[in-house]
Structure 1
Amino acid sequence: MSMQQPATNKRPIITDVNPKSPISEAYRTLRTNIDFSAVDEQLQVIMLTSAGPGEGKSTTATNMAVTYAQSEKKVLIMDADLRKPTMHHTFSISNRRGLTNMLTGQASLDEVISESHIPNLHVMPSGPIPPNPSEMLSSKRLVALLDELRQKYDLIVIDTPPTLAVTDAQIIASRCDGVVLVLNSGEVKREMAMKAKANLDHVKARILGVVLNNIDRKNGEAYYYYYYGESKA
Structure 2
Amino acid sequence: MSRQENKRFLISVADPRSPISEAYRSLRTNIDFSSIDEKIQVILVTSAGPGEGKSTTIGNLAVTYAQSERKVVLIDADMRKPTEHHTFDVSNRIGLSSILSQQSSLDNAIQATNIENLSIITSGPIPPNPAEMMASKRMETLLQDLKNRFDIVLIDSPPLLAVTDAQIISTKVDGVIFVMDQGKVKRDIARKAKSGLDKVGARILGVVLNNIKRQKNEGYYYYYGNS
Could you say which TM-score interval applies, normalised by the shorter chain?
Answer: over 0.9
Give the aligned residue type for 2:173.
Answer: C
Determine which of 200, 208, 221 is the counterpart of 1:203. Answer: 200
Tell me if 1:32 matches 2:29. yes
Give the aligned residue type for 1:20.
Answer: R
Tell me if 1:18 matches 2:15. yes
Tell me if 1:169 matches 2:173. no
The 2-side partners of 1:14 and 1:27 are apart by 10
Instruction: Say if 1:133 and 1:93 are closer, same or farther in 2 by CA, change over 3 A.
Output: same
The 2-side partners of 1:189 and 1:9 are apart by 28
In structure 2, the partner of 1:181 is 178
How far off its partner does 1:223 sit? 3.3
The 1-side partners of 2:96 and 2:222 are apart by 28
Give the share of equivalent positions with the same residue, in percent.
61
In structure 2, the partner of 1:89 is 86
Aligned-pair Cα RMSD in Å: 1.4
Output one character per residue of 1:87-132: Cα deviation in whole Å (capped at 9) or x when no partner.
0000000000000000001101111111110000000000001111
Instruction: Say if 1:81 and 1:223 are closer, same or farther in 2 by CA, change over 3 A.
Output: farther
Instruction: Say if 1:9 and 1:193 are closer, same or farther in 2 by CA, change over 3 A.
Output: closer
Q: Which moved more, 1:209-218 or 1:195-204?
A: 209-218
Aligned residues: 224
The 2-side partners of 1:74 and 1:167 are apart by 29
How far off its partner does 1:218 sit? 4.4
Tell me if 1:80 matches 2:77. yes
Tell me if 1:194 matches 2:191. yes
- SS across alignment from 1:214: strand
The 1-side partners of 2:6 and 2:193 are apart by 32
Within 5 Å, which residues of 2 pair with 1:91-130? 91-130=88-127
Tell me if 1:149 matches 2:141. no
Contact 1:95–1:126, Cα closer than 8 Å, also in 2: yes
The 1-side partners of 2:32 and 2:54 are apart by 19
Output one character per residue of 1:2-61: Cα deviation in whole Å (capped at 9) or x when no partner.
xxxxx8972221101100001000000101111111122101100000000000000000
The 1-side partners of 2:31 and 2:25 are apart by 10
The 2-side partners of 1:226 and 1:120 are apart by 25
The 2-side partners of 1:10 and 1:74 are apart by 23
List 4+ stretches of structure 1 deviating above 2 A. Answer: 7-10, 217-223
Output one character per residue of 1:167-218: Cα deviation in whole Å (capped at 9) or x when no partner.
0000000000000000000111111111111000111000000000101164
- SS across alignment from 2:52: coil
Unpaired runs of 5+ residues, structure 1, are 1-6
The 2-side partners of 1:51 and 1:8 are apart by 27
Contact 1:57–1:159, Cα closer than 8 Å, also in 2: yes
How far off its partner does 1:137 sit? 1.1
In structure 1, the partner of 2:216 is 219
In structure 2, the partner of 1:3 is none
TM-score (norm 2): 0.95
The 2-side partners of 1:198 and 1:59 are apart by 24
